[in-house]
Amino acid sequence: MQATLARSFAASKRTLFHDVPLWINGQSVTSKKSFDVKHPISGEIVSRVSASEEGDVQAALQSSNQAFPAWSRLPAHERRTVLNRVAELLEERKGLFSEVYGRETCVGGLVRHVDWTYSMIHIKEAASLATQIKGDIPQTVDGSLALVLREPYGTVLSISPFNFGLTLAIRAIVYPLTCGNTVLLKASPLIPETHFLLGQLFKDAGLPDGCLNILQFGNEDVGAMVDRVIGDPRIRMVNFTGSEAIGKVIGESCGRHVKPVLLELGGKACALVLETADLEAAAHAIIFGSNIHSGQTCMCTERAIVVESVYDEFELIIRGKGKELAAALADSTKTAVGEMEVAGEGPARKVRGLVEDALAKGATNLTDDLVSLEDHHASKVQPVLLSGVTSDMKIYFEESFGPALSLIKATSTAHAVEIANSSQYGLSSSIWSKDIMTALSVARSLECSAVHLNSTTVHDESSLPHGGHKSSGSGRFNGSYAIQSFTQTKTVTFRTGEGMAPLDLLA
């Protein structure tokens, strides 16, 4: 199957290769420097991408800064109209975005459809918030009238990843925009053309020039360039979605430059399977949660923590689900899961290394008898289900960001909570139990920002806050919670009594 894909790709000369420019002040700009993006399977060059130089960065920052006053003062209903038009145009251009994203990543059609659907939902949610940005009139001690206003920051630097590449880039753009900010998007080097297309999309929807700029950086200087952008006084706030390692670098840079930052980082999502769980339903949801988008989402289920009274029965059931998954992989058009096939050899090598370490230390591979797919590749990893995972194994604590699920035995519900909370991450989790009161009690004990009862860990709603606890980050995207992230408060007071000050210092 993958060999056919690779041959088809190589034969299609129209895809080899695309020049991808920058998007600055409402127009495409070609830089003198460039870097190549290669197809993850065939190794052929997919695109040649302009790499931002200092002049490009300065032009983008200047246009963002100049566009901010007018955009921030634009009546809220007009900002809403622009965003609603973005949704209309994205619907018309679904085929274009799907084709480009699929060509850059090999992501299956079903995942691309889900990505597009959630992008549409986020745009419409953000548009609905434009007229919901509210302040407050708190009581004061001295009797003066006080107004607490919520105002945009200015230019927001948004840094977006490759996975669910349309949804997460859209999210990083529309929530700051609806709050009156302008946006400088640092696009993913793995899907540069997908992110570049957003510039023309927003411009055609009526977004004024300068309100959205899109830059790319070459691998040799990306760190220094991003740090320089963060340090520029015209950048007033930063949001980053990606790995914990890079998040620490971004956070440290924001700290040095005293910039507010929203970090949505990695996860080690756990599913707690308790004594009264519906084991069949739990196994189905956990297999799905572990393998959607090849395990390459921050909410993917990496740990199934099962109480020992049902462990053996659950292991038997989920092993059967693994066989069902193997059959589903034979037809990638009917499943949202599959072999790891997006991020390249480095991430795939990490997953294989974690699995090999676990097996060497006594874990059992329950997927040994899965049907093998043809044409294995260095940047691909088949789904793996490990039983008997213990704390001396690297995979017990490290995020794999791939289709690798660990079964961990707990002696009791309390022990299951202890294991769950031993992770440095705290993004998403699920609890499987027919005893809702017990499940609610456990939910309150888990150190993570989202807990889903009798459901998968992969759950993100545009109206619900999304972000992490602990090393999974800070700050929140989505819905009215995003207003808190992308606006700042200003207090205005009016003295209503006599005198200009509470003390007469001249008496």
Active site residues per annotation:
264, 298
Give the relative orientation of helices 192-204 and 76-92 as an angle to the nearest 10 degrees.
130
Q: What are phi and psi of 41, to 5 degrees?
A: -105, -55
455: left (phi over 0), alpha (psi -120 to 50) or beta: beta
How many of the other CB atoms lie within 10 Å of CB of 374?
A: 8
Q: Is the peptide bond before 17 cis (omega within 30 degrees of 0)?
A: yes
Tokens of 462: 């545009």
Q: Which two tokens stand for residue 227?
A: 């740090």
CA distances from 240 to 255, 269, 304, 366 (A): 14, 20, 28, 36
242, 265 contact by CB (below 8 A): yes
- 20 residue type, one letter: V
In angstroms, the CA 133 to CA 82 distance is: 17
Sign of the alpha-carbon torsion through 89, 94, 95, 99: positive
- Residue 293 DSSP label: G
Per-position DSSP letters for 188-235, written without gaps between them: -TTSHHHHHHHHHHHHHTTPPTTSEEEE---TTTHHHHHHHHHHSTTE
**183, 212 Cβ separation under 8 angstroms:** yes
Rounded CA-CA distance 489/357 in Å is 50
